[in-house]
């Protein structure tokens, strides 16, 4: 399997989560070895996708520099990861990605519309060679060697709807669409009220997130999965790991992980070349992993 880009330019407009303003997103093909490149059209600012570009992880994964930033890239990047796209230009006209419905489903549809183009260069993947772990008390995120690409996430919230949840996912484009992509982000009404009082989360609504009060889900339609919260955490983790710019062959696991810990994991992973090996997908021994992009 070779590197991938998209077949044609596609555009969509959606609301930004924090400013509540329309954001135009355009995806453009790029040549081999170009990577995933973000571009602020309103600032003529190019931001390469890399852990070194991450400037904030408090509420979302944010990339940029002193000239400008782009927030909430993780939902979009989870779809990019699932589709195995290596080279693409991501153009926005504001400081955040559109939130769409709070999941990655709309981005999957956008990539389906764009189509996938195989390129004339071998696809490189990051093969994990040593276990790397980052902890914060009992919270942790970890990647370890495996001949399969898996994500395993557990959470524990003191809330009657959430409680203890977990989800295990074996990587593949089709399973992502069926099991993970539709899982929405979630937030508590009390937190949203505070954030909006300081001019954040102005675009948040029950149309783009699961809303919770102290006892129940506020969305009239309810949940899409019984453990939608844990599934969304896997979606976030996939997007955060895509900040490395590559698909990963290894086992990711977490208890109560966050964007912050995921970022620290990518930094720790790349800090020592003994932790991983960049290999051509054609030389990977795991047929299951190679077929997962079909």
Question: Tokens in use for 110?
Answer: 């956008």
* Residue 55 backbone class (left: φ over 0; alpha: ψ -120 to 50; beta: rest): alpha
d(CA 86, CA 246): 7
The string of DSSP letters for 107-141 reads HHHHHHHH-EEEEEEEPEEEEE-S-EEEEETTEEE
Active site residue 259: yes
d(CA 31, CA 52): 22
Q: Which residues contact 138 (CB under 8 A, 6 or more apart)?
A: 255, 256
Q: Which residues pair with 40 in a beta bridge?
A: 45, 92
The H-or-E segment that residue 82 falls in is: helix 74-83
d(CA 139, CA 177): 28
- Active-site pick, 18, 75, 246, 259: 259
123 near 99, Cβ under 8 Å? no
262 near 241, Cβ under 8 Å? yes
The three-class DSSP label of residue 55 is strand
144 near 224, Cβ under 8 Å? no
Question: Tokens in use for 131?
Answer: 């276990």
Catalytic positions are 259
């Amino acid at each position: 399997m070779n590197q991938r880009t998209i077949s044609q330019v596609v555009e969509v407009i959606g609301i930004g989560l924090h400013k509540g303003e329309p954001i135009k997103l355009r995806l453009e093909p790029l040549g081999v070895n170009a990577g995933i490149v973000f571009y602020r059209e309103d600032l003529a600012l190019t931001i390469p996708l890399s852990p070194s570009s991450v400037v904030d992880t408090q509420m979302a994964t944010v990339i940029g520099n002193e000239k400008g930033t782009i927030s909430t890239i993780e939902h979009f990047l989870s779809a990019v990861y699932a589709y195995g796209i290596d080279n693409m230009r991501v153009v926005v006209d504001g400081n955040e990605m559109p939130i769409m419905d709070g999941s990655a489903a709309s981005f999957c549809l956008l990539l389906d519309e764009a189509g996938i183009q195989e390129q004339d260069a071998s696809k490189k993947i990051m093969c994990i060679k040593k276990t790397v772990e980052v902890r914060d008390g009992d919270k942790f995120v970890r990647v370890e060697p495996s001949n399969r690409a898996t994500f395993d996430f557990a959470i524990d919230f003191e809330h009657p709807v959430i409680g203890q949840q977990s989800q295990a996912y074996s990587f593949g484009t089709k399973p992502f669409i069926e099991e993970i992509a539709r899982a929405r982000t979630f937030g508590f009404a009390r937190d949203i009220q505070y954030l909006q009082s300081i001019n954040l989360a102005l675009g948040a609504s029950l149309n783009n997130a699961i809303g919770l009060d102290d006892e129940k889900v506020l969305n009239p339609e309810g949940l899409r999965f019984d453990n939608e919260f844990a599934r969304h955490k896997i979606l976030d983790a996939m997007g955060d790991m895509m900040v490395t710019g590559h698909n990963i062959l290894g086992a990711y696991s977490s208890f109560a992980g966050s964007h912050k810990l995921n970022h620290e994991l990518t930094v720790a992973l790349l800090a020592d070349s003994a932790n991983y090996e960049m290999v051509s997908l054609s030389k990977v021994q795991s047929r299951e992993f190679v077929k997962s992009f079909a």
